[in-house]
Amino acid sequence: MAEVLLMPRDTLDTIATPALVLDLARVDRNVARLRAHLAGLGVALRPHLKTAKSVDVARRLFPEGWGPITVSTLAEAEYFAAAGATDITYAVGLSPDKIARVGALIAGGVDMTVLIDSVAQADALGHAARDGVALPGVLIEIDCDGHRGGLLPDDPALIAIADRLRAAGIALRGVLVHAGESYACRGGVGLPEAAEQERAVAVTAAQRLRDHGFPVPVVSVGSTPTAHFARALDGVSEVRAGVFMFFDLVMHGIGVCAVDDIALSVLATVIGHRLDKGWILVDAGWMAMSRDRGTQRHPVDQGYGLVCDVDGVPYPDLIVADASQEHGIVAVRPGSGAALPDLPVGARVRILPNHACATGGQHEAYRVVGSGAREVIATWPRMRGW
Amino acid sequence: MAEVLLMPRDTLDTIATPALVLDLARVDRNVARLRAHLAGLGVALRPHLKTAKSVDVARRLFPEGWGPITVSTLAEAEYFAAAGATDITYAVGLSPDKIARVGALIAGGVDMTVLIDSVAQADALGHAARDGVALPGVLIEIDCDGHRGGLLPDDPALIAIADRLRAAGIALRGVLVHAGESYACRGGVGLPEAAEQERAVAVTAAQRLRDHGFPVPVVSVGSTPTAHFARALDGVSEVRAGVFMFFDLVMHGIGVCAVDDIALSVLATVIGHRLDKGWILVDAGWMAMSRDRGTQRHPVDQGYGLVCDVDGVPYPDLIVADASQEHGIVAVRPGSGAALPDLPVGARVRILPNHACATGGQHEAYRVVGSGAREVIATWPRMRGW
């Protein structure tokens, strides 16, 4: 009789650290929550895959085949298109040198939509059209809160851009708004208002275009905070959100999720102690956590991350208080009376990140687990670059 | 007659952005500067390759064959060993689960040195020795400024660790000190003293070990600031430094280099404007620059980076004032009277980083140029991960 060989399974106790751990049950729960909210509002979701950067994670959004997606780089567009995505919005202002790559995606069968907010960009597309490049649909970026780019909804350039596109035979699809300042809210206060402002500005700009005879099929809004706190989205055709799949400590501080909803963590191993200083040293420094200090000005500053046991249960007030490239300094939050846990050299912890997009970007792959389980059930690669 | 085909060369005007640009002439100048300084002090250099993470960059340090190197991860050790490095110090506290990988490197012919600062780590090595794992040489980490890990030089554990190693038949090689607090200096003030403190603490700890009958061939010190400002290194056998090859705005603020010495930059393209706010938007956000805000508390806060023209000449007081994942907001430094330069959509800039280790880590490869030249003469991959 042949001997049965039992292969040892990878677990959170055995894999090399630091490692990026993804709790799949929490991902699925987070996806279901936003899908249900937006279904109730009667609006489509166009998830932003700049957080996940993984085809395997994207499949949790689209178990029955690709839907519309948003990306932040053309490398993401090319990566997801190669995996079958066919409806992609590149939601960063288009520079002229990137038009040829967009054209190649379209030639490969992808329905591409790009973002502009100037006559110069419309003219660059017009020149490319005359050169025979396959051209994308276009959204005009509208600013609702002074956060970044975009036109104010009453800017004369809005109509001028639409005119230039029409003259060049390029399809204007609509407007796009991102309420980036919603990240300045805390504990949920002000988020319904930020969502309504984002919606109202988008609808106002769309109406201006319609008043000038332009059809506006797409009215695109979104950020994870406003997507969750929107009470009505009349006139909006789609919502973009990215970090909602994973959540993080910034989203918790803003008031969008509970700590228990956070699906992403970094597994680390204790490498030393400075008990005279109340420090435990771990092998996850800023290279593993990212340099993101997004909770620095929150009422609760989480340092470089909130420290949990290997099963994901937070220790009271234990954070990564400081970080070098490959060292994390774990300590009790200043002012807390919590005790430093007894974690000998070799013990393992999981650290919840400030910012899932930034921490994810530091890693090659997700090590996938179920909630509360230690077995690594899959390893999913992440893409990067531009 | 055969037609001569002239292939268009990649240049900083044509490559996809954002891109990590390395000025090779500056690298070579920076390497020569530290080598000359340490040669004058009669001490060996063991460069820290956690900044470069590239075999091609390492060759600028070792044009005639590999010398001793320092690494911050075992993945770096494995990568450089595969390229021929044979003398590697892994300068982060060793956790027991990593001993097997160190043993595999040794079995492959690499002379490995590891770092510990506890009896628990010495015992873990002792257990591995009994299991037949090939064991590395060991340095004991000593703390000179309360920055991170390490024993105080008079800690009784110093001799206890050495005793345990001897009992297990493991080679104690010496002591290692890192003056991490030297990064808190500004404009060079205090750096000679920090270097002398680092040296004195290392030599004191080494002498204690020798007084107890332990040979101490290795007395290892280093950080880029103290390496450059050390006036004497009596009793020191080697200096570690990493960022000296590239330099960055943090090193400039500390007083170690001129802006003109910085060899690393991020090439970016203008994607929009908010002239009402004094902003130029570029396609290098924090994913390209990293989230490192290392100059935040410096007298001159450089934001997410100092903006130069495509040839590397800084614009007056022009910085990346804020950043989203793929957007950089370029603006004149607050309080400056400098004018915002006229940079249309599609124009290119180069951005000097706060922290070369962090910015480099965001990219797949270096695009290599000569000083002031735009032609990309090579593309050098970078490694990552753990």
What are the pLDDT digits (tens) for B218-231?
999 999 999 999 99
Asked if pLDDT for residue B328 goes beyond 90, the answer is yes
The stretch B121-127 carries a mean pLDDT of 97
The stretch B271-284 carries a mean pLDDT of 97
Query: ipTM, 2 decimals?
Result: 0.96
**Residue-wise pLDDT tens for chain A (386 aa)?**
455 666 678 999 999 999 999 999 999 999 999 999 999 999 999 999 999 999 999 999 999 999 999 999 999 999 999 999 999 999 999 999 999 999 999 999 999 999 999 999 999 999 999 999 899 999 999 999 999 999 999 999 999 999 999 999 999 999 999 999 999 999 999 999 999 999 999 999 999 999 999 999 999 999 999 999 999 999 999 999 999 999 999 999 999 999 999 999 999 999 999 999 999 999 999 999 999 999 999 999 999 999 999 999 999 999 999 999 999 999 999 999 999 999 999 999 999 999 999 999 999 999 999 988 999 999 999 999 99
Q: How far is residue B319's CA from residue B303's CA, in Å, rounded to a whole number?
A: 6
Asked if pLDDT for residue B83 goes beyond 80, the answer is yes
Q: b/e for A150-188, b at 16 or more Cβ within 10 A?
A: bbbbebeebbebbebbeebebebbbbbbbbbbbbebeee
Asked if pLDDT for residue B177 goes beyond 80, the answer is yes
Nearest chain A Cα to B141, which residue?
Answer: A272
Cβ distance A386 to B293 less than 8 Å, yes or no, reads: no
Asked if pLDDT for residue B256 goes beyond 50, the answer is yes
Closest residue by Cα to residue B147 from B75, B225, B76: B225
pLDDT at B372: 80
Contact present, B152 and B201 (Cβ < 8 Å): no
Please confirm whether the linkage preceding B18 is cis (ω < 30° from 0).
Answer: yes
Contact present, B75 and B385 (Cβ < 8 Å): yes
Cβ-Cβ contacts under 8 Å between A and B: the total is 161
% pLDDT > 90, chain B: 96
Q: How far is residue B13's CA from residue B346's CA, in Å, rounded to a whole number?
A: 10
In this prediction, residue B7 has a pLDDT band, given cuts at 50, 70 and 90, of low
pTM equals 0.97
With contacts defined as CB-CB under 8 Å, which chain B residues touch A281?
93, 148-149
pLDDT tens digits for range B29-75: 999 999 999 999 999 999 999 999 999 999 999 999 999 999 999 99
pLDDT at A219: 98
Distance from CA of B254 to the nearest CA of A (A): 17
Distance from CA of A54 to the nearest CA of B (A): 16
Chain A neighbours among B 105-164 (CB < 8 Å)?
117-118, 120-121, 124, 141, 143, 146, 148-149
In this prediction, residue B1 has a pLDDT band, given cuts at 50, 70 and 90, of very low
B230 close contact with A: CB closer than 8 A: no
pLDDT at A1: 46
A240 close contact with B: CB closer than 8 A: no
pLDDT at A372: 80
Asked if pLDDT for residue B2 goes beyond 90, the answer is no
Tokens at residue B14, please? 């044509």
pLDDT tens digits for range B360-381: 999 999 999 998 899 999 999 9
Cβ distance B118 to A273 less than 8 Å, yes or no, reads: yes
Q: How many CB atoms lie within 10 A of CB A13?
A: 11
B6 close contact with A: CB closer than 8 A: no
Cβ distance A324 to B180 less than 8 Å, yes or no, reads: yes
Nearest to B72 among A72, A325, A364 (CB): A325
Q: How far is residue A147's CA from residue A183's CA, in Å, rounded to a whole number?
A: 10
A33 close contact with B: CB closer than 8 A: no
Alpha carbon separation from B220 to B121, B174, B177, B183, B207 (Å, rounded): 20, 8, 6, 18, 13
Interface test with B, best of A53, A89, A92 (most B CBs within 10 A): A92
Cβ distance A345 to B290 less than 8 Å, yes or no, reads: no
B323 close contact with A: CB closer than 8 A: no
Cβ distance A346 to B146 less than 8 Å, yes or no, reads: no
The stretch B10-22 carries a mean pLDDT of 98
A311 close contact with B: CB closer than 8 A: no
Q: How far is residue B240's CA from residue B176's CA, in Å, rounded to a whole number?
A: 10
A329 close contact with B: CB closer than 8 A: yes
Interface test with B, best of A140, A326, A354, A359 (most B CBs within 10 A): A326
Chain B neighbours among A 267-306 (CB < 8 Å)?
269-274, 277, 281, 283, 286-288, 290-293
Interface test with A, best of B290, B295, B354 (most A CBs within 10 A): B290
pLDDT at B371: 81
pLDDT at B3: 57
